[in-house]
A and B are shown apart, each in its own frame.
Chain A
Amino acid sequence: MQLRRIIFGVCTVAAALAGCETPSESQHAFELSDAAQGSTPSGKAAVITPDRARNLASGCFACHGPNGRSPGYIPSLTTLSAADIAAKLKRFKNDEVSSTIMGRQAKGYSDAEIDAIARYIANLKR
């Protein structure tokens, strides 16, 4: 069932970024590698702050369920590692794996955003 491997999503938010810095220390964040997609209206490269990683990941809940726990047919995200999530999303993005919709979604994200989403989801309290 290739199509059922359409995974990715997200989790809660109240949870701390386990293993990461505290929010006050972490404002430095990382530069977006794909500046074209992550550029701000002012032209400056967007940085992926903890707020932004959380917001990006929260978008995934609409389909994959609150906290990445799907109540229905769409796969849950709660068992995936950061490496799994990032690798799957990049394969969707690059059409290296077939999907119904994840390819269309993943093409909207830079690789740096994908990495931030993957880290955020995998670090949520389960």
Chain B
Amino acid sequence: MHRINRRDFLRFAGASVGALAIVSPARAAQSARVMVIGGGFGGVTCARYLKVFDPTLEVMLIEPEPQFVTGPASNYVLGGFRALRRITLNYDALQTKYGITLIHDLVISINAAKKTVTLKNGKRLSYDRLVVSPGVDFSWGAIKYYDPASANAMPHAWKAGPQTTLLRKKLEAMRNGGRFLIVAPANPYRCPPGPYERASLVAYYLKRHKPRSKIIILDAKDDFPKKDLFMDGWNKFYPGMIEWVPGAQGGKARSVNVHKLVVDTELDRFKGDVVNVIPPQNAGRIAYVADLVNDSGWCPVEARTFESKKQKGVYVIGDAAIAGDMPKSAFAANSQAKIAAAAIVSELQGRTPAEPLLLSTCYSLLAPDYGISIAGVYRATADGIKLVPGSGGVSPREANLDFRAEEAKYAIGWYASITADGWG
């Protein structure tokens, strides 16, 4: 699948006769090799911008899957107005247009001291700098009895792909007058406004096809991003259809019964016709393999560069990183990817990395022509990454329908741009 260059060939050849235990990653006369693990928004954007910032770098991207289905816009699939194939991307342009070496394999281990990565196929590759962009894994069992097998009966659909299709099929099969339960996690988790956009767009579908149905959000939290804007929109478009049960009113899920489609919260029992459990989350598997995670389940990083505080020469970006005020969003991953790429290039060229400025904007649709947004501009401080006072915030509450329609168009435009900025 990928090119094996001469020095890897020699390394494997040496390893095969047991003669080459250690290969120095120092390559005075050669371009440096930066390896990126994880082909989501963070990983592809970092690989791409490493090449933009220094075209002489050798950049490898390791991702087991041949395609990537985006979390952003996956609620459009549930709403019935976008096909899954239209949120499915491939890595072809990264290889053919941008000179990045794609390796479709799984990373088994990382040795940060020796700067090597071992793949499932047995190959060991050395690097000069490593970027880890692993996204999230689910904290199975944090909600009692919700394990990987449960996701067939109660899909999470929080990693887009077959789970998205599965949840959509269950909604299509639901009776008119049915009850759709969404279990929403405590902070922090991937895509903070996502559960509420999901409720909105499922309501958009149900209103037209099964208008007697209800949606109940069982939430571990007492607040969520853009709450007033969401609730205004729900009252306007889906009156009486969406009920939000905050944690303080017993919304926090404690256990599930997948056979009975029941969720038990701290105060009550809810029976659904279709149940979507968005479980609590932690950093993706590779972050644990590389010992990048602290007790919180996430990865501490330097605010200015995203270099791991636990492993030198390893950078953690995207949802897995502890990034202060920044949300776990695709936009944040894109922004962090560029800052990490720039820091790596600066360091390899003997310059001090520049002071970073970071961005995130999250659009949510409440209907295909009604959008709202939350934005932030962030800087590195001695106390970590902080929102610049006075910047960012949410769409105005009093805006008219033209404004919401314009933001809905920007939401679609944003998707086109940010995916092009990563996958080409």
- Give every chain B residue within 8 A of A108 (Cβ-Cβ): 357, 359, 376-378, 388, 390-392
Which of B351, B355, B377, B416 is within 8 Å of A46, CB to CB?
B355
B338 to chain A, nearest CB (A): 5
Instruction: State in angstroms the CA–CA spacing of A52 and B418 once bound together.
Output: 21
Specify which of B358, B391, B415 lies most central, judged by the most chain A CB atoms within 10 Å of its CB: B391
- Give every chain A residue within 8 A of B357 (Cβ-Cβ): 55-56, 59, 108-109, 113
Instruction: State in angstroms the CA–CA spacing of A105 and B391 once bound together.
Output: 6
Q: Which residue in chain A gives the minimum CB-CB distance to B372?
A: A100
Specify which of A13, A46, A101, A107 lies most central, judged by the most chain B CB atoms within 10 Å of its CB: A101
B370 within 8 A of A: no
Specify which of A37, A52, A55, A58 lies most central, judged by the most chain B CB atoms within 10 Å of its CB: A55
Interface residue range, chain B = 35 or more
Instruction: State in angstroms the CA–CA spacing of A55 and B361 once bound together.
Output: 17
- Give every chain A residue within 8 A of B388 (Cβ-Cβ): 37, 107-108
Instruction: State in angstroms the CA–CA spacing of A85 and B389 once bound together.
Output: 23
A64 within 8 A of B: yes
Q: Which residue in chain B gives the minimum CB-CB distance to A44?
A: B355
A61 within 8 A of B: yes
User: Cβ of B380 and Cβ of A101 under 8 Å apart?
Assistant: no
Instruction: State in angstroms the CA–CA spacing of A14 and B55 once bound together.
Output: 8
B24 within 8 A of A: no
Which A residues between 41 and 69 are near B, CB-CB below 8 angstroms? 41, 46, 49, 51-52, 54-56, 58-59, 61-66
Which of B361, B391, B406, B416 is within 8 Å of A70, CB to CB?
B416
Which of B52, B353, B406, B420 is within 8 Å of A13, CB to CB?
B52
- Give every chain B residue within 8 A of A74 (Cβ-Cβ): 410, 413-414, 416-417
Instruction: State in angstroms the CA–CA spacing of A74 and B353 once bound together.
Output: 30
User: Cβ of A70 and Cβ of B392 under 8 Å apart?
Assistant: no
Instruction: State in angstroms the CA–CA spacing of A59 and B359 once bound together.
Output: 7
User: Cβ of A101 and Cβ of B410 under 8 Å apart?
Assistant: yes
User: Cβ of B52 and Cβ of A14 under 8 Å apart?
Assistant: yes
B354 within 8 A of A: yes
User: Cβ of B416 and Cβ of A62 under 8 Å apart?
Assistant: no
Q: Which residue in chain B gives the minimum CB-CB distance to A59?
A: B359
- Give every chain B residue within 8 A of A13 (Cβ-Cβ): 49, 52-53
Instruction: State in angstroms the CA–CA spacing of A3 and B396 once bound together.
Output: 14
Interface residue range, chain A = 35 or more
User: Cβ of A41 and Cβ of B382 under 8 Å apart?
Assistant: yes
Known: A52-B354, A55-B342, A105-B375. A3 touches B403 (CB 8 A): yes
User: Cβ of B354 and Cβ of A63 under 8 Å apart?
Assistant: no
Instruction: State in angstroms the CA–CA spacing of A52 and B354 once bound together.
Output: 5
B407 within 8 A of A: yes
Which of B52, B354, B391, B406 is within 8 Å of A3, CB to CB?
B406
Instruction: State in angstroms the CA–CA spacing of A20 and B169 once bound together.
Output: 57
A12 within 8 A of B: yes
Which B residues between 329 and 345 are near A, CB-CB below 8 angstroms? 331, 334-335, 338-339, 342
B421 within 8 A of A: yes
User: Cβ of A100 and Cβ of B403 under 8 Å apart?
Assistant: yes
Which B residues between 216 and 251 are near A, CB-CB below 8 angstroms? none
Which of B334, B359, B380, B381 is within 8 Å of A105, CB to CB?
B359
Instruction: State in angstroms the CA–CA spacing of A15 and B342 once bound together.
Output: 15
B409 within 8 A of A: yes
User: Cβ of B417 and Cβ of A64 under 8 Å apart?
Assistant: yes
Bitwise, A16-60 to B at CB < 8 A (1) or not (0) is: 000000000000000000000110110000100101101110110
- Give every chain A residue within 8 A of B376 (Cβ-Cβ): 108
- Give every chain A residue within 8 A of B418 (Cβ-Cβ): 62-63
Instruction: State in angstroms the CA–CA spacing of A61 and B375 once bound together.
Output: 15
Q: Which residue in chain A gives the minimum CB-CB distance to B383?
A: A41
A39 to chain B, nearest CB (A): 9
Specify which of B354, B378, B413 lies most central, judged by the most chain A CB atoms within 10 Å of its CB: B354
- Give every chain A residue within 8 A of B403 (Cβ-Cβ): 3, 100
Instruction: State in angstroms the CA–CA spacing of A101 and B375 once bound together.
Output: 8
Instruction: State in angstroms the CA–CA spacing of A4 and B375 once bound together.
Output: 18
A31 to chain B, nearest CB (A): 13
Which of B361, B402, B407, B412 is within 8 Å of A72, CB to CB?
B412
Would you list the 4 A-B pairs with minimal beta carbon distance, nearest first?
A108-B377, A72-B416, A73-B413, A108-B391
Query: Which B residues contact A (CB, under 8 angstroms)?
Result: 49, 52-53, 55, 331, 334-335, 338-339, 342, 346, 351, 353-359, 361, 373, 375-382, 388, 390-393, 395, 402-403, 406-407, 409-410, 412-418, 420-421, 424
Give 16 A-B contacts (CB < 8 Å), ordered by A residue.
A37-B388, A51-B346, A54-B342, A56-B357, A62-B414, A63-B410, A63-B414, A71-B420, A72-B412, A72-B414, A74-B414, A74-B417, A105-B361, A107-B388, A107-B391, A108-B392
Please give 4 more A-B residue pairs, beta carbons under 8 A apart, in addition to A63-B413, A71-B420.
Answer: A51-B351, A70-B416, A72-B417, A101-B407
